Structure formats: C-alpha cells, structure tokens
Structure 1
C-alpha cells in the first residue's frame, strides 16, 4: 500500500484542478544569482529538468530551439524518470486509468532526441513513487533499458545512496531518494532508495566528490510552495554537506531558495506531462534549472551561478510543445507571468 496520509489523498483532485498558492516568493531566495565574483574562467554546467513521463503524450514533443540549445549546452542533464520504461504493461487497469505510469522505450528515446539531450550526458533518478507501478518486472525492465541505452541511474538501492558522476572533469556525487511510494514497502525495499537521513546511510557513503547534490522526491503534489517539513529537510541536507539540492514530485513549479551558499530548487514541475492530457495551465509551467560549477583549483566544486529558466508545455495535437514563456500570447502569457512573479519573484529571468 502507499504511504500517503488520508488528507493528502483527499486533496489531490482539488489541488490538481487549482494548485495552491499559500506563500510568496519573498519568503525564499532569488530565482537566479551569481555566487562567485569574479566568475572563474572554467566552469561545468549542470541542467536539471523535472519529471519525465508519457502519460499526457503519445508522441515525442516539439521543443523550441532555444530550450533545446540550453539543454544541449550542459555538460550533464539530470532528471526524474517518473514512469517505468516497459514494452508491455503489467498493471493494465491502473495504466488505462492513468494512476499507474508506463513509458515505451521508443517514446523515451525519441523524446530525448527531440529536446537535444544526449544519452551519455543524461542522469536519471528512479527514486520516485511511480517506479514500481508496473511491479518488479517493470522496475527490472526499466533498469535494463537504461543500462542498454548508456544512461546513468541514481536513486536505486542496488547502486547505493551515492553515485559519483564525472562531468567535464568534476566529480559530482548524486544522492536521490523518495519519501513517497505508490506500492507496498516490500516492493520498494532493496530496489528504490527511500532513506532521507544521510546519517542512516552506510559509513562513508558520501565518498569523495567535488560537489554533493541531493535529488529528493518530496513534498505534496500541486502546491507551488514547499511544506514546512520540506524546508527543514532542505536545511538538514545543506548542513550535512550537500552543496546543491534539486527536488521533484510537486508537478508544479516551486521557488528557489539559497541556504547559505547552497541553492535549493524545491520543484521543477513536469518536463513531459505526467498527469492528465487536459491538465490546467498552472501545471503546464515547468523549469530548467542550470548550475555553473567551478573547475578552477582555487574554487573547484563551488557553485558559481544558478538560474531558473521557466517554460510552458502547450498541447499540440497528441503531443506537447515546449516553449519559452516569452513566446506565449494574450491572456495566457499574462497569467503565467503573474504566477511566476508570485513563485519566483520575477516573471521571466533573463
């Protein structure tokens, strides 16, 4: 069984139809900042994207060249694989209803090509509530597909709590975990990382890295602002030694915070639609979060700058079209910019 409280379950549909706005951007940090001045001559760029799924689409997306160029310029792209990658579904009824996720390998490969993400530069977290939606068989098929495609995975129990990944000469230590699961604990145990407290991880699990990055699947869905306990966990991760925290699960864009010198992106929304085809417009706002990290000897591993790049997922027949907010027109653009002003403190970061 899932571990969601009853109040969470009862609020799902109302919040899906109307995501909550219970706070304000002024309670958080800036959406973009330069943290090291003057800027080091050599940096590595990380680009984080939100949840990836095929629930709301049957064809690969159309991607604006500017967004494609942004992703293509990154040394490493990190996202959340929200749907098991399977050729046949094991939970037929739930998949038909949309409560159980499934994604064909062909769709995934075509989608990544359409947005300019190369397999060798992609890191995907499997630590999310949907990863056992197609049972153990679906989980194992997902792992096999990603291994075959040459895509690195984080958030699996087999790989341990920390995976070191080389990016442009830097070693980034990624730790992914999920606080939520849609199936029994026994199914997740030994497969998906669910421990959020690094002190309970194996001794020396952090190992050696130039920068440690936490990728939690946390919080409540369809809330534009994180819960108090999510903020507390972010601070605990920063205190433990993580220099970067980027979360998923809310399916809507959430604010950026700065805890000391540690950037925290609470939620990037969906990169490819994980909810229903006719999702209300606030849930169609997503973000690409870029991080520049120094590789100069005197500042190696330090976050130099970060920036949130909002975009919009528009329906285009049986697929989605990813466009910058500046390309929106009419009343939709006004509503999106007002929402970004509320969440990020600025309508369109440059």
Structure 2
C-alpha cells in the first residue's frame, strides 16, 4: 500500500498538466470498420457473453439519493434486466459535449440510442468530463470543456443513473464555473458525485437503489494537474474529491461498506494514452479493496485498459472515451462494461473477503464521426474484444473471482 503522505507541490509540477490532447498513435494497426451488424460480444475468460444476460423487462425501476445533496431520479423507461437474483451495473468512460457534440446538450433525447447498451443495465454510470456552466474564465491549461445544465438531462436520457465529476475538467472555468456547476448539481435529474461545495459534499456518495440493494457510489480523482492542485475540495472549500492522499476517500469508503450493500468507486486515475495501470493506480485499487469497495472503475488515459478481480473487488483501470470528440482509432475505441452482482450475497454488509461481482462482460464499441459510440460489425467486435483481453494481461488482476 502506498504511503499516506499528502501530494507535494513538487510532485504536482512534474506530472502531466495537459490532458485530453490528440496524442500520438499507439502503433496498433486499425482494421477497416466493419458492417453495421451487431454481433454479440465475445466473452473474456471468466466473463459472460452479453447475449446471455437476463431478458429485459420494463417493470424494473431504480431510485437514487445523494447523501449530501438529496436528488430524486426520474423513473427510467429503458428496459431493465428482470432477474431478481442478479443486479447488473454498467459503466462507460468519458462523456462531454464539446465542439460538434454541443447541440446534443440541448436535446434530452440526444443520446437516447445508448439506452439499448449502457442504459440496459439495472444501474449505469459514466464520467462527466466537463464543467457545467456557460460562464467563467478558462483556467491556465490547454483544453477546456463545458456544457450547459441541460446536458444533464441528455445524459439521463441515455439511461445513466449517476455521474462522477471528479476529474481534471470539472473546474475548467474557475470559481464562477464551479459555482454554476454546484448549482446545476442541486437541480440535476441524476446524482452527481465527486464534486461539492466542501469536502463533506465532494466525498459523499450517492445512494442508488435497485433489486432491493442500496448501492453507494463515489467519485474521486488522482490526476496530478491544475484542477487537483487548485480545486480539490477541503474544509469550507469547494472543488473535486481528491484520492491523493487516499486517507479521506478510504475513510468514506470504509464507512459506506458498513452501511450499504454495495460500494462503487469511480476514479479518474492513470496516465494519458497508456494501456496498462501505473503503480499509483494499482496501490489505490489495493487500498480501496481493503477499505471495502466492491467495484472500482475509472479512466483518464483515453485508452481502454484491462480489468479483473482483486480480492473482494472488481477493478477496471480504463474505460476509454465514450461520448467524445475524437472519432479515429485508437481514441475511438470504447465500450460498455457490464457487471453482474449476486443480490443475495450482496444483501447486508457481511461479505468481507468475498467478491459479490460474479461475472463481467465487455461490449466493444467505436465512436462515430458524430461523437457517439456504437457497436461495430462482427469483425471489429472480435478485434476490439481481443485488444481488451490483451490489456487484461498487464493488470495483475484475476480473470475469475476468488
């Protein structure tokens, strides 16, 4: 486990300060895009084929509350899996509304087609990588992302149940932008975690309810750049939840594991354009597993990284881009991670040492020229799933729950 000392200013100064750049190709040859067929995902070792998921039913609903700023989620009309013994949770990567994606932010149905993939699970979550404001002044960095508050209804329209804003673009437009973001959070149709008016709010989980389970979801960042250095939430200070040092987050996760049936941590971590986890991310995953987290997922590298089991936790190091302004490979490689949770095993808080996540499936997608991810044809599906399996090899994680 890493030391619990605070990150120093020197450490911040030597790490990456410009993220979300176009980057250099990773040397892989991209096969031509396939036809529009939607072949089922090939399962990884120890994972289930997405086509074998429980048959959908419109009778399942999910509710959500945020412990710091209560939020009522409107009932979703998306089809949800009906098996009462299994809770499905779907996760995807970075979402913003920059450039040619901007018009979608004013359309509640702008991402409705994603309800059949990301939104098909009982609960789903993404990283919302943007400030929610139309005002403010850009802070001193290369890339700046923002969207109006109406974008939250667009995300909800994709079947998303909660978002994390603990990332290096959540405060791109300074204090005024942060003020607007926090106001939008209070009025949001879905819970927002990882950002708040002070540390108590930023580190508070949202509590989602489905299949009789209470699921606490957190958001936090350990990307060492200007946002973390200047706009980390503290006592009486607004900003994002920081995972460095890990003490505050670990304490919150530990408390939640004793109170709720399932604990999820959505992290912004890792290094840009890398396909394997760095040592800091591995240490963070270990610390959160020991604290009682059941699911630890995240991104930031703009690449799909590997995933697997670490003790009681299922860990996914990089979910890649999702709704994004880069539509060429490798930036366009995307997908949805769907985890199946044993409801009976998760019920209560006594499952320490045993993973309640029974299966995992990765549904590969490619981001189109309009910035929206879609399932590719059979050939690309097989190729992209193979790349995901290759990425699993460098994680040190297990292919099956222990």
TM-score tier by shorter-chain length is 0.7 to 0.9
Deviations 1:251-286 (A, max 9, x none): 11111121134211101111111xxx4564101111
Alpha-carbon contact 1:89-1:102 (below 8 Å) kept: no
Q: 1:2 to 1:167 in 2, by over 3 A?
A: farther
The two structures have a TM-score, normalised by structure 2, of 0.67
Aligned counterpart in structure 2 of residue 76 of structure 1, from 117, 123, 129 = 123
Measured in 2, the distance between the counterparts of 1:222 and 1:336 equals 17
Using the TM superposition, give the Cα deviation of residue 125 of structure 1 relative to its aligned residue in structure 2, in angstroms: 1.0
Secondary structure, aligned partner of 1:147:
helix
Measured in 2, the distance between the counterparts of 1:185 and 1:5 equals 9
Structure 1 alignment gaps of length 5 or more: 22-28, 346-350
User: What do you get for the CA RMSD once the two structures are aligned?
Assistant: 3.5
Aligned counterpart in structure 2 of residue 291 of structure 1, from 339, 346, 353 = 339
Q: 1:93 to 1:242 in 2, by over 3 A?
A: closer
Aligned counterpart in structure 1 of residue 375 of structure 2, from 324, 328, 348 = 324
Matched, 1:227 2:278: yes
Aligned counterpart in structure 2 of residue 90 of structure 1, from 100, 113, 137 = 137
Q: 1:45 to 1:340 in 2, by over 3 A?
A: closer
Secondary structure, aligned partner of 2:23:
helix
Matched, 1:210 2:254: no
Aligned counterpart in structure 1 of residue 316 of structure 2, from 265, 269, 273 = 265
Using the TM superposition, give the Cα deviation of residue 152 of structure 1 relative to its aligned residue in structure 2, in angstroms: 0.8
Deviations 1:288-346 (A, max 9, x none): 111222222x553722322222211010xxx32421132677xxx7874664453357x
Q: 1:328 to 1:10 in 2, by over 3 A?
A: same
Measured in 2, the distance between the counterparts of 1:230 and 1:255 equals 12
The two structures have a TM-score, normalised by structure 1, of 0.76
Measured in 1, the distance between the counterparts of 2:185 and 2:379 equals 35
Alpha-carbon contact 1:285-1:311 (below 8 Å) kept: yes
Using the TM superposition, give the Cα deviation of residue 179 of structure 1 relative to its aligned residue in structure 2, in angstroms: 1.0
Using the TM superposition, give the Cα deviation of residue 146 of structure 1 relative to its aligned residue in structure 2, in angstroms: 3.1
Number of residue pairs aligned between Structure 1 and Structure 2: 314
Measured in 2, the distance between the counterparts of 1:184 and 1:338 equals 34
Q: 1:334 to 1:178 in 2, by over 3 A?
A: same
Alpha-carbon contact 1:32-1:306 (below 8 Å) kept: yes
Secondary structure, aligned partner of 1:235:
helix
**What residue is the counterpart of 1:161 in the other structure?**
203
Q: 1:265 to 1:250 in 2, by over 3 A?
A: same
Alignment of 1:1-350 (within 5 A): 4-6=12-14, 8=16, 16-19=23-26, 30=44, 33=47, 42-56=85-99, 57-60=101-104, 67-91=114-138, 99-110=143-154, 112-113=156-157, 116-117=158-159, 122-156=161-195, 157-168=199-210, 169-180=212-223, 181-183=225-227, 185-190=229-234, 191-196=239-244, 199-200=247-248, 205-206=255-256, 207-273=258-324, 277=325, 280-296=328-344, 299-300=346-347, 302-315=356-369, 319-326=370-377, 336=384, 339-340=387-388, 342-344=390-392
**What residue is the counterpart of 2:79 in the other structure?**
none
Higher helix content, 1 or 2: 1
Measured in 1, the distance between the counterparts of 2:166 and 2:245 equals 15
Q: 1:286 to 1:4 in 2, by over 3 A?
A: farther
Measured in 2, the distance between the counterparts of 1:278 and 1:166 equals 31
Secondary structure, aligned partner of 2:359:
strand
